Amino acid sequence: MVRNELKRGWTGPNLKCPYGPCHYTGQDCTYCYCPFYPCGDEELGKFIPMSKGGKIWSCVHCHLIHRTPVCKYIASRVEELKITDPEDKRLRGLLDEAKERFLVPGKAIMVVGATSDAGKSLTAAALCRIISRKGYSVTPMKTQNMSLNSMVTDGGSEVAGIQMIQAKAARIKHPDHNVNPILLKPMKDGITDVFVNGKHFENIGVREYYEKFIPSAGTEAVRESIRIQKIRYEYVVMEGAGSPAEINIYYQDVANMRAAEMADALCILVVNMSMGGAFAYALGTIELLPENDKKRIRGIIFNNLYGNASSLKKGIEELEHIAGVPVLGVIPHMDIPLPKEDSLTLKGNAGSDRDNVNIAVIKLPKIANFTDLDPLYHENASIVYTEDPNDLKKADVIIIPGTKNTFDAMRWMSLSGMDEAVREMRGKVPIIGICGGYQIMSAMLSDTLGKENRVPSSTEGLGLFDAVTLWDENSSEVSVVNGLLSMTDEGIRGYEIRSGRTVTKEHPLFILSSFTGERTDEGSSRPDEKLFGTYIHGLFDTPAFRRYILKMTGKYVPAKYSDTDYDDILNDILDELADTFESSLNMELFDKIFMEARK
């Protein structure tokens, strides 16, 4: 194959390839089989273990050979040197030439917010899609993210879910832990579960986090990820956390201006109009920054405007004059169903509606991975997050979602009477437990190691399944999965992030198949009593399980996206988001400041 490629010369992107894109949308496929393989260059690839032992060279994150300017250069040099043999020693020299010319660090653009919920994630996702549509390789990155909504990369790393959504916006195939090197999961009593490079690192208190972790492992992880992302991609769209002007932790804050400095990023300040005081928020944030960092703020975006942007004209001119920073545009309020990051903004989509399927989601303490339910927003369904047991009586489907602490959640269920309310609905409507919610459906919860509660403990569950949930040495799992819905043999995919395991005597819900073809039972189901429990997150992404549950209510009316995989639904949403930003921003000014000026 390589011989043909050497002879054939430059061919460009192959948009019709059934396997593409292998790396990112818009990649160049001239060298589908890399003429330098295995180059052994650790700046580009790495050796990975093989399932049957030994190592193999992996190019999964090498984008250099998929950039059109690089492919054109190599093709012209191959022709010039009349290289036809893949074993030709001069090829290695060509790779070094290409690296020297083209492996220049990518450019970093950082989206910072005047407040939490300013619209940073949305803006970063929109910019990823806009830059990807221009044909560049681009990646999102949030150096530190506090989120109970995490997802798993296909390499088995755990990162914040919103960075995986932004990676879809950037249209990259294999995002890894470098999109979010530090993930924080709040536990209780001021303790945080810290993940570094996609793996559990430690449970740390706030003080120790800023005084010990950040100055050492924290900063190192951030610096290394920035270095790697800038080698791999032409653009890195970074997202800050909270506000960059938290002057109390300013020099330890690796989520904002310290990260911008490490990446030499130019920054955009996003302000949420609907909060009021937007001009003051913008100016106040900029004015609180030290001179060097203030210079990095090169544009302001006013986001989430209800009303007419022309009414802001005078104010914008005055702010631009005082702050010396241009306003790139005003984004109108959009009801774009992109995954929520934190449970504070969790509202569901409507009150109960007679025609729709009414889905009641029990709002457990420390609710986690509620993004599992996002595909249901595209069905004829009303989703209500509730802490009121009475709401279950009106429901057509009851969902017990994931939680960061199953024991605390079970205790809350008993104290609030939610446990009895669920038991009363047994057999009447489908009841689905996901991860912690599935554990709660067990007969017994037993934490022999004190993994959940820091002290060994056990308690009764709802007793809906003949199953026991254990927290012991072999109860943690982080992986992506594929398999079948056991009742219909339709395909499902998802991921597992669990710290407990459930030993069940019930019929499995899913049959998982591993890379080597091994099949394993997963979850519990009693279809006749409409009881379903699983550890699989993303279970509603493929239409199979969505349809199976909604049909069970007898009220199912297919919607526009009912047969559509959530990945494709998201793709449409992200294009719509990018369109709105492109039509609301001064794109010429954006290109001039953030793209052209830095060529």
Q: Report how far apart, in Å, the C-alpha atoms of 532 and of each of 103, 525, 539 are.
A: 51, 4, 12
Asked whether the beta carbons of 27 and 13 are under 8 A apart, the reply is: yes
- Helix, strand, coil share of the chain (percent; to 5): 35, 25, 40
Question: Which parts of 52-71 interact with ligand SF4 (CB under 6 A)?
Answer: 59, 62, 64-65
Q: What distance in Å separates the CA atoms of residue 578 and residue 572, rounded to the nearest whole number?
A: 10
Q: Work out how close the CB of 91 gets to ligand SF4 at its nearest, in angstroms, rounded to a whole number.
A: 10
Full DSSP string of 328-372: EEEEEP----PPPSSGGG---S-S--SSSEEEEEE--TTEE-GGG
Residue 97, amino acid: E
Q: Give whichever of 65 and 445 is closer to ligand SF4, judged by the CB atom.
A: 65
Per annotation, catalytic residue among 61, 63, 378, 537: 537
Residue 44 CB: number of other CB atoms within 10 A?
21
Tell me: does residue 45 bind ligand SF4 (CB under 6 A). yes
Per annotation, catalytic residue among 39, 71, 128, 435: 435
Q: Work out how close the CB of 229 gets to ligand SF4 at its nearest, in angstroms, rounded to a whole number.
A: 16
Q: What distance in Å separates the CA atoms of residue 586 and residue 328, rounded to the nearest whole number?
A: 5
What mask of x and - would describe binding to ligand SF4 in positions 453 to 492, judged by CB under 6 A? ----------------------------------------
Tell me: does residue 544 bind ligand SF4 (CB under 6 A). no
Tokens 């490490």 sit on residue: 262
Residue 340, amino acid: K
Question: Which parts of 75-134 interact with ligand SF4 (CB under 6 A)?
Answer: 95
Asked whether the beta carbons of 57 and 47 are under 8 A apart, the reply is: yes
Three-class SS string for 72-116? HHHHHHHHHCCCCCCCCCHHHHHHHHHHHHHCCCCEEEEEEECCC
Among 12, 33, 38, 466, binds ligand SF4 (CB under 6 A): 38
Q: Give whichever of 86 and 491 is closer to ligand SF4, judged by the CB atom.
A: 86
Q: Give whichever of 33 and 251 is closer to ligand SF4, judged by the CB atom.
A: 33
The residues that bridge with 381 in the sheet, in sequence order, are 357
Q: Work out how close the CB of 235 gets to ligand SF4 at its nearest, in angstroms, rounded to a whole number.
A: 19
Kind and range of the H or E run holding 319: helix 313-323
Q: Give whichever of 20 and 332 is closer to ligand SF4, judged by the CB atom.
A: 20
Instruction: Give the binding range for ligand SF4 (CB under 6 A) out of 39-47, 203-211, 410-418, 512-520.
Output: 39-47
Q: Give whichever of 65 and 398 is closer to ligand SF4, judged by the CB atom.
A: 65
Q: What distance in Å separates the CA atoms of residue 557 and residue 551, rounded to the nearest whole number?
A: 8
Among 37, 73, 102, 561, binds ligand SF4 (CB under 6 A): 37
Tokens of 507: 């019929």
Among 5, 28, 41, 496, binds ligand SF4 (CB under 6 A): 41
Among 6, 34, 111, 400, binds ligand SF4 (CB under 6 A): 34
Instruction: Give the binding range for ligand SF4 (CB under 6 A) out of 38-46, 85-93, 380-388, 451-459.
Output: 38-46
Q: Give whichever of 45 and 494 is closer to ligand SF4, judged by the CB atom.
A: 45
Q: What distance in Å separates the CA atoms of residue 348 and residue 325, rounded to the nearest whole number?
A: 37
Please give the span between the terminal C-alpha atoms of the chain, in angstroms, as a whole number: 35
Q: Work out how close the CB of 50 gets to ligand SF4 at its nearest, in angstroms, rounded to a whole number.
A: 16
Q: Work out how close the CB of 39 gets to ligand SF4 at its nearest, in angstroms, rounded to a whole number.
A: 3
Q: How many residues bind ligand SF4 (CB under 6 A)?
A: 13
The residues that bridge with 359 in the sheet, in sequence order, are 383, 397
59 catalytic? Reply is: no
Q: Give whichever of 66 and 168 is closer to ligand SF4, judged by the CB atom.
A: 66
Among 39, 114, 376, 573, binds ligand SF4 (CB under 6 A): 39
Asked whether the beta carbons of 83 and 95 are under 8 A apart, the reply is: no
The residues that bridge with 299 in the sheet, in sequence order, are 268
| Secondary structure letter of residue 315 according to DSSP | H
Q: What distance in Å separates the CA atoms of residue 93 and residue 83, rounded to the nearest whole number?
A: 12
Q: Give whichever of 45 and 433 is closer to ligand SF4, judged by the CB atom.
A: 45
Q: Work out how close the CB of 33 gets to ligand SF4 at its nearest, in angstroms, rounded to a whole number.
A: 9
| Secondary structure letter of residue 428 according to DSSP | T
Phi then psi for residue 512, to 5 deg, are: -90, 145
435 catalytic? Reply is: yes
Tell me: does residue 6 bind ligand SF4 (CB under 6 A). no
Tell me: does residue 36 bind ligand SF4 (CB under 6 A). yes
Q: Work out how close the CB of 167 gets to ligand SF4 at its nearest, in angstroms, rounded to a whole number.
A: 20
Three-class SS string for 207-244? HHHHHHHHHHHHHHHHHHHHHHHHHHCCEEEEECCCCC
Q: Give whichever of 94 and 128 is closer to ligand SF4, judged by the CB atom.
A: 94
Instruction: Give the binding range for ligand SF4 (CB under 6 A) out of 9-17, 29-37, 80-88, 560-568.
Output: 29-37
Q: Work out how close the CB of 44 gets to ligand SF4 at its nearest, in angstroms, rounded to a whole number.
A: 4
Instruction: Give the binding range for ligand SF4 (CB under 6 A) out of 30-38, 412-420, 526-534, 585-593.
Output: 30-38
Q: Work out how close the CB of 65 gets to ligand SF4 at its nearest, in angstroms, rounded to a whole number.
A: 5
Active site residues: 435, 537
Catalog residues that contact ligand SF4 under the rule CB under 6 A. 34, 36-39, 41, 44-45, 59, 62, 64-65, 95
